[in-house]
Structure 1
Amino acid sequence: MSEFDQLYSVVNDYALCAAIAASQPRLVYIAPSISGPVAEAIDNLLPEPTHRQ
């Protein structure tokens, strides 16, 4: 079992960003707030949007 297999965890931003970067194929983030580094880690995980013309 990996360190990311738990349903609930209390972590700092560094550990949370590492878990986000390792998530495949989906991520569910539930929290009352989000820090800048965590938002950036989630943004890096998302695919680039496609634009219709």
Structure 2
Amino acid sequence: MRRLARAPEQIGRLSGRLVDPGFATRAPAAAQDKARADLAANEAEARRLEVLLDPAP
């Protein structure tokens, strides 16, 4: 439950970083790639946890 509760915060933080023009111009490509990978992993984890916790009809 705690991971699911933190997911929107982490997703928002990473999304914000990726749309920040300063991050895009100053961060090394490896850091940008890691941020994109972290965002995708957090989104996938949030979806996985939602499915696990969603009671079937």
Instruction: Assess same fold via TM > 0.5.
Output: no
Which of structures 1 and 2 has the larger relative contact order (alpha carbons within 8 angstroms, sep 6+)? 2
When the two structures are superposed, what TM-score results if normalisation uses the length of structure 1? 0.30
When the two structures are superposed, what TM-score results if normalisation uses the length of structure 2? 0.29
Higher share of residues assigned helix:
2
* Higher CA-based Rg: 2
